[in-house]
Structure 1
Amino acid sequence: MGVSEKNSAGKRSARTRLQEERERQKARDKRRRTLIVAAAVVGVLGLAAVAGLIAANTGDKGDSAGSGPVAAPTGAVGKDRLAIPVGATDAPSTLTIWEDFRCPACAQFENAARDTIHQLTDSGQIKVEYHLATIIDGNMGGSGSLNAANAAACAQDAGAFVPFHDALYRSQPPEQDDAFARDTRLFELAAGVPGLDTPAFRSCVSKGTHDEWVNKSNEAFRGGDFRGTPTVLLNGESIFPTKGKEQISIENLKKWVAEANKGKKPGTAFPSPAASASPPAPASSPSG
């Protein structure tokens, strides 16, 4: 009896030590993956958001490009049509954003800067070009980055990229939770966007219609001279986490755009349906 109790206690102790070591290893891995580089002060309320870069590893895990046709979403622009545009096509400045829907730092940036970016695009001050990456799938395993990016491209087909993009970041799961790999979770979020949750959208998501386009975008990210996600460029100049010696903040973002646009007229050529923060009316969404 005594020997059995000792053996049992020894096993519990070994399991505890093993569990503690695993937790320490997870913490070390996370520190290596995540580089905290700045603190952005948000608006006049002084709400602080930690801004970071999630660095891509050098492995090939999660890369599956080349297994099917590349189908760019409706209205995609730029080299190889790898960017989803938002805002007036003739806006005087361009904000280029490389993001991963599983990336915590991307969610921190988007949730902090969302209203300001919408104001700048809706007023014709900037247009935004979104490029989608899947580095968290490569770093952590899983397919949520790819699946969410494909769904966002499907939403672009339906004229609802912006509200669905925002919904993904508002509802981003913890980094290790690959919830976006489940189509049902994406359909739940789509149901909150008027006119989006249609048979055409569900089919596009389920079939992975734009998977190879996402993979090609991720290849472009990996081939670029980028430190990680989010990467944010104003007219080609990096502004995240800093622009020169100035750290990014909501006020600085507005200031930098104003400086870039000095003497220039706001854009007025908005696509139809408008690629803005306002959800499209169901009747305006294409059926396919």
Structure 2
Amino acid sequence: MKLLRYGTAGQERPALLDANHQIRDLSAIVTDIDGPMLGSGAIDRLRAIDPSTLPVVSGDVRIGPCVGRPGKFLCIGLNYHDHARETGAAIPEEPVLFAKATSALSGPNDPVIRPRGAQKLDWEVELAFVVGAECRYVDEAQAAAAIAGYFVCHDVSERAFQLERGGTWDKGKGCDSFGPIGPWLVTADEAHDILDRRMWLEVNGRRYQDGSTADMIFRPAFLLSYISQFMSLQPGDIVTTGTPAGVGLGQKPPVYLQPGDSVRLGIDGLGVQQQSVVEEG
């Protein structure tokens, strides 16, 4: 099942994508695709519904972030063998954990905003998942059962903020628009082969990233179990799991996004995002 949110930013409505790629409104059944909904067992109830009985959403509508109002937006760095090598970093012995501000969340086709003072705006296609149950000190099997679904995340980064301004990575990761997710959330039962999905990213039609989730160092269930040893996680929390090689920082010489650039990215079976880069107003 593919779940999504559509409409004006801040006023999105819940929906699902049917087998004919039509958006079907879910507003009469659930209030949103968010933590309370995911933690209530509503996904099981939605599976019993015949999508053809739901209203069709017609016209050109904005697709919003596929999860609304997450409590946490957590990220894993250097989690692909080839990306660690391209940055010159050692393969991590434990996951590298950092956070994005939840205010960075945006829709899959919303503009990427280059913030004031930015010099090195970079791209990263990533597999993300959403938590569907409370997790505290869970083992890997419990963590696997607590993952509600998967989706595409664009972990937009400002490398100068991240690496040259002191402190942690968070400065270069949490700017507004730096967290496009979606277009839809694919429920865990449908995303059964998630550990062998092709993932790619193009800038102005040139493909820079062309990898696979099979190159991941730490897998999603392990990551959720690991994080739960340090903090509790609640339904609706998002974890994005790292990027393959081909980021702008890794080019020789480095290549960074500029206003007017077009970025297109996707993961097989999870959908495609497309964004234009604009200057902060």
TM-score (norm 2): 0.31
Which structure features the higher share of helix residues? Answer: 1
TM-score (norm 1): 0.31
Which structure features the higher share of strand residues? Answer: 2
